[in-house]
Chains A and B, each alone.
Chain A
Amino acid sequence: MKSLQELEQIKQKTLDSVSLRKDRAGGIRIVVGMGTCGIAAGARPVLMSFLEEVQKRNLRDVTITQTGCIGVCRLEPMVEVTRPGEEKVTYVKMTAEKAKRVISEHIVNGKIVNEYTIGAAE
């Protein structure tokens, strides 16, 4: 160990992975509906795609969790995205490809992908 900066680098590298264990209020939450209906409709690849993108882009402060059936089975796989201080956005009929776009536009740039949302579907 040569310097405090070197220590800080190790800290930053590990911090993302351990910050999950602190009770956090802030941060972006991505919730994937993983009830039986969701899984049958292909929710797993969607979840995997989110994970891959978050890791690839080294995004901080993003929590990805799953939940049971969100309620509108015919629109599964469904995903809810909440950015701190903003309304929850619900995306429907998601795919792995769509997940990538949600990450790049909504998560990174804060622009909701309107065409995938539940409002657009109904």
Chain B
Amino acid sequence: MEFYRSHVLICGGTGCHSSGSSDIREVFQTELKKNHLENEVLLVQTGCFGLCEVGPVVIVYPEGAFYSRITKEDVPRIVSEHLLKGRIVTDLLYHDSIHEDDAIKSLDEVNFYKKQKRLALRNCGVIDPEKIEEYIAFDGYKALGKVLTEMTPEETIELIKASGLRGRGGAGFPTGLKWDFTAKAKGDKKYVCCNADEGDPGAFMDRSVLEGDPHCVLEAMAIAGYAVGADQGYIYVRAEYPIAVKRLTIAIAQARQMGLLGKNIFGTNFSFDIELRLGAGAFVCGEETALLASIEGKRGEPRPRPSLPAVKGVFGKPTLLNNVETYANIPQIILNGPEWFRSIGTEKSKGTKVFALGRKIVNTGLVEVPMGTTLREIIYEIGGGIPGGKEFKAAQTGGPSGGCIPAEHLDTPIDYDSLSEIGSMMGSGGLIVMDNDNCMVDIARFFLDFTVDESCGKCPPCRIGTKRMLEILDRITKGQGEEGDIEKLETLGKNIKASALCGLGQTAPNPILSTIRYFREEYEAHIRDKKCPAGVCQALLQIVIQADLCRGCGLCVKVCPTVAISGERKSPYVIDQNKCIKCGACLEKCPFKAIVKG
């Protein structure tokens, strides 16, 4: 490999990609040529750095200068100042990455990264995901080599069991135990599958791993194949993830070429290959029986399951299914040992978890923290708090299957068990932050709307039950709620949970039940007082003119599109609530701020 004195890492994750990182790469290429630096400076397109909020992000080594929100126009300056003359362009640096005296902090010192522990994401933003050599340079495929040449399948399973790793796809099932079941199942042919369906709206950690470090998933699947006795793997990835699909395709081809997939890997008699299966992106296809059916080319519908996939999975053969992030932890557990992994996290949840921070948070993006980190640390120390200094109201974890966490639980150490205790769940790791401008009834409605849409319709409790719940919520947000609606929602919710066929239906009522649990008074305000305390539900909003502030100028009358305002000049005007469509035009126009939402 050539020696380059400087490496320019450009984030090529989906977030930065859509904010223009590929254009930036091109401009870098031309500018480097122009300054004759192309043989000294290496351009590297990496996976996600996590700080999507300030993307596109560019990091220049060896200085470790962290440039944020870079535009094409900034590139010539970075090249001519920093790369040619060695003067870091301080005004383009991420604000939290410099000390007061302008010296550059190392990445571990930046608040966003300080409390993070990047295991699953360790290579994301560090290596070029399209070069297998770079993965190998960071100890890639060494765990596979070690397992194949030094360990038996049984020892491998024991090691994973001892690490305490639990599935990151949602349910938190002990991974080693699952491997053991599959290994012990009888069958001449077995399969290893990877769930990369990632259907939770607002979650993108699996995508980031696949985009930033595809080889670690391939390596882990091969290790799993050796442990359970499988020679074929499938990765089920949604077609809506084109960059992930492209990098996986490249990675598989490179691994085959190097003989890290295929026949007689590491000179042993173990053979393993992996194929991609593209999903059409239905949420229910992430459910394991539906996913396995879809891999077979059948309709992605859940099946009633008398037997586990470990016994009867793809094509009726024993099948191991794990999530992307679960796999991403495997190689390091093998290399560093189970004790190392057990030393991170809480008593019953070991290791780290990746969360996708979204909505009302300063640093939207991807963070990985040890299990047991509190919500407060994630939101305030890593996430940078809530924009505009607003007050935290609740966080939703687990997406459409999870629930909300109110402010009183901000200091709960987060792990699988503590989250279910407070009525939510880990889920895949979506973490949506809400402030006082968010209406909890509306949030519950948003998630239920999603599940009603995504329900496959196979079983009545989910197909009809969730629809009924949505109708009730709709009524409540429109001001037509009735006494007894809350109790109806609770009963329906309990019944659906108990009778739906698959996890989608069984968890669909969770967002509603948990918002009722913590914000019952907000539901009551909608139903009894016909008010939305957060001012979100349009139908419950009233726009009123405060008589004592109104000077009777008449400007509002002119802008109202529905002629809802009437009155005499020079005396207070009034709004006819029956005609008002709550467009807010008058509110903006009033020079005396006499018109308010209430």
Contacts and interface: CB of A to CB of B under 8 A. Distances in A.
Interface of A: 1-4, 7, 10-11, 13-18, 20-21, 23-24, 31-36, 39, 47-48, 51, 54-55, 63-68
B85 A68 contact: yes
Contacts of A15: 137
B137 A65 contact: no
B7 A13 contact: no
23 contacts: A1-B258, A1-B265, A7-B142, A10-B137, A11-B136, A11-B139, A13-B1, A14-B136, A16-B1, A17-B1, A17-B137, A18-B137, A20-B6, A21-B9, A21-B61, A23-B64, A32-B86, A51-B5, A63-B62, A65-B62, A65-B63, A66-B84, A68-B86
A54 B126 contact: no
A118 B260 CA distance: 54
A11 B275 CA distance: 26
A26 to B, nearest CB: 13
Contacts of A20: 4, 6-7, 61-62
Interface in B1-27: 1-7, 9
B42 interface: yes
Given A1-B266, A21-B126, 13 more contacts: A1-B259, A3-B145, A4-B142, A14-B1, A16-B3, A17-B3, A23-B106, A24-B62, A34-B86, A35-B85, A35-B87, A51-B5, A63-B5
B430 to A, nearest CB: 30
B40 A51 contact: yes
Contacts of B149: 3-4
A11 B131 CA distance: 12
A10 to B, nearest CB: 5
A14 B133 CA distance: 6
Contact of B145 (A7, A47, A65): A7
Interface in B131-163: 133-134, 136-139, 141-142, 145-146, 149
A63 to B, nearest CB: 5
B3 A3 contact: no
B136 A66 contact: no
B104 to A, nearest CB: 10
B567 interface: no
Interface in B210-256: none
- 3 nearest A-B residue pairs (beta carbon): A66-B86, A14-B137, A55-B3
A18 B145 contact: no
A37 to B, nearest CB: 11
Contact of A2 (B1, B107, B266): B266
Contacts of A66: 84-86
A29 to B, nearest CB: 8
Contacts, number: 102
B7 A21 contact: yes
B139 A18 contact: no
A90 to B, nearest CB: 15
Nearest to A63: B62
Contacts of A34: 84-86
B267 interface: yes
B339 interface: no
Contacts of B62: 20, 24, 63, 65
B124 to A, nearest CB: 13
A55 B145 CA distance: 30
A4 B61 CA distance: 30
B529 interface: no
A33 B85 CA distance: 8
Contact of B136 (A10, A16, A31): A10
> Which has the most chain B C-beta neighbours within 10 Å: A2, A4, A36, A39?
A4
B380 to A, nearest CB: 26
A21 B137 CA distance: 12
A82 to B, nearest CB: 13
A68 B84 CA distance: 10
A41 to B, nearest CB: 13
Interface string B265-288: 111000000000000000000000
Nearest to A56: B3
Given A2-B266, A4-B142, A23-B64, A68 B2 contact: no
Contacts of B453: none
Given A1-B266, A2-B267, A7-B141, A17 B4 contact: yes
Contacts of B42: 17
A3 B266 contact: yes
Interface string B96-124: 00000000001110000000000000000
Contacts of A68: 85-87
A39 B142 CA distance: 45
Contacts of B146: 4
B127 interface: yes
Contacts of B9: 21
Contacts of B267: 1-3
A39 B36 CA distance: 14
Given A7-B142, A18-B127, A34-B85, A1 B260 contact: yes
A32 B142 CA distance: 38
